[in-house]
Amino acid sequence: MKAVCFKEFGSTSDALSIQTIPKPFVSSPSQVLIKIHACALNPIDKIRLSGGLAAVSPEPFETSVLGYDISGVVEEVGEEAVSSFKVGDEVFARLKGMYYGALAEYVICEVPELAKKPANISFVEAAAVPLAGLTALQALRRGGVKEGSKVFIPGGAGGVGSIAIQIAKKMLGAAHVCTTASQGAGMEICKQAGADQIIDYRSEDFEDVLKGEDFDMGFDTMNQAVKMGSLLMKGGKIISISGTPTIEAIQESNPSPSYIIRIVMFLSRNRAAERAAAKNGGTWEYIFMKPKGSDLSELATYLESEDIKPVIDTEADGLENFKVAVDKLMSGRSKGKCVIKVA
């Protein structure tokens, strides 16, 4: 099959190329083979391609295929998977096992990661949801967002921010969601997502604008946790997905990290963010998203009702045009998600 691979680390799309590699196959009862119809890129792909994850997850360069988000059609089902999925089902997922990766014609996925795609959205739209949607939903829930909550979500025009605003308002019932964006397309995306307050980050500092206000939760998508502490009410929470992770976050997925990783995490811990939150009687925590099909199925209900809509910045037509999407991701200027239509 064809796939977008890299054989060495690099900071541009020139490190990637179309390669022909073996087609994956079902090798355990809980696996499903998916013919990919669309795949999406995320900031973590940029970090991975540049070598930023190598210490935690070394790359087998001969088959390093970029990407985590997919949508497609089930082509083969393991013996235990037949109770959940059948051949022909339209599905979407954030890959965990990484059997080759998302920018390919086929991929293997485990049943717990997989969910059925809503029939009324396209494969391109579905591929834009998993990583961003799961990250936002799990972070907001970890932060205790519920009906009536007041939430601050900076970076509302990004892939995670734009869907986080919608989840906070439509799924979790937040009463007030404040975000930041630039004038023009960014602010329009935030308005469409349902933000109640939008701060122009180019001309205003959110610390000054929001001084004296009390937020139940701050969702740190842009490594700004230190600046967000003063905004918390007593008992409020800041949940970070940006910046250096904590050893506690790493241990949730890897209970026995190496000694070197433990030392690095200890030395680079964001103690300033912890102090800033604690000063107002709140807490700060770093989390990693967990690929969960059950959470995706919840999101699918709101995608089907059109209460939640993914924001797509760039759509590349075909794997051979992968650079269109990758270059936009690398530029850091995308508003919403960069997606590749595969089939």
Q: What is the pLDDT of residue 36?
A: 98
Higher per-residue pLDDT: 52 or 66: 66
CA distance 177 to 194: 8
State which amino acid sits at residue 23.
Answer: K
* Interval 106-132 mean pLDDT: 97
Cβ atoms < 10 Å from Cβ of 298: 17
**Averaged pLDDT for residues 103-120:** 97
Compare 333 and 167 and report the one with higher pLDDT.
Answer: 167
Query: Do the Cβ atoms of 130 and 93 come closer than 8 Å?
Result: yes
Q: What is the pTM of this model?
A: 0.95
- H-helix segments, the chain: 43-49, 123-127, 130-142, 159-166, 185-193, 206-209, 225-228, 247-253, 259-268, 271-279, 293-304, 322-331
Tokens coding 102: 């998302």
Report the pLDDT averaged over residues 173-188: 97
Look at residue 197 and tell me whether its pLDDT is greater than 80.
Answer: yes
25-43 average pLDDT score? 96
Percentage of the chain beyond pLDDT 70 is 100
Q: Which two tokens stand for residue 286?
A: 């770093």
What distances in angstroms separate CA 127 from CA 214, 267, 327, one per listed residue?
Answer: 36, 37, 18
Residue owning tokens 């602010």: 187
| pLDDT mean across residues, the chain | 94
Assigned token pair, 105: 């014609």
Q: How far apart are CA 307 and CA 143, in angstroms?
A: 22
pLDDT at 61: 67
**pLDDT at residue 149, as a whole number:** 98
Provide the residue type at 90 as one letter. Answer: E
CA dihedral 327, 21, 85, 78 (to 10 degrees): -150
Question: CA-CA distance, 179 to 196, in Å (whole number)?
Answer: 8
Q: How many CB atoms lie within 10 A of CB 252?
A: 11
Q: What is the pLDDT of residue 56?
A: 73
Crossing angle between the packed helical segments 293-304 and 130-142, to the nearest 10 degrees: 100
| Contact call for residues 157 and 191 (beta carbons, < 8 A) | no
Query: Rounded CA gap, 92 and 129, in Å?
Result: 9
- E-strand stretches of the chain: 2-6, 16-20, 31-41, 69-77, 90-94, 106-110, 114-116, 150-153, 176-181, 197-200, 215-220, 232-240, 283-286, 312-317, 337-341
Residue 24: pLDDT band by 50, 70, 90 thresholds? Answer: very high
Nearest to 153 by CA among 137, 142, 165: 165
In the predicted model, is pLDDT for residue 55 greater than 80? no
Do 60 and 50 contact (CB within 8 A), yes or no? Answer: no
On whether the CB atoms of residues 134 and 42 are closer than 8 A, the answer is no
Mean pLDDT over residues 280-303, rounded? 97
pLDDT of residue 54: 81
- What pLDDT is recorded for position 268? 87
Count of CB atoms situated within 10 Å of the CB of 249: 17
Confidence of residue 70 (pLDDT cuts 50, 70, 90): very high
Q: Is the pLDDT of residue 259 over 80?
A: no
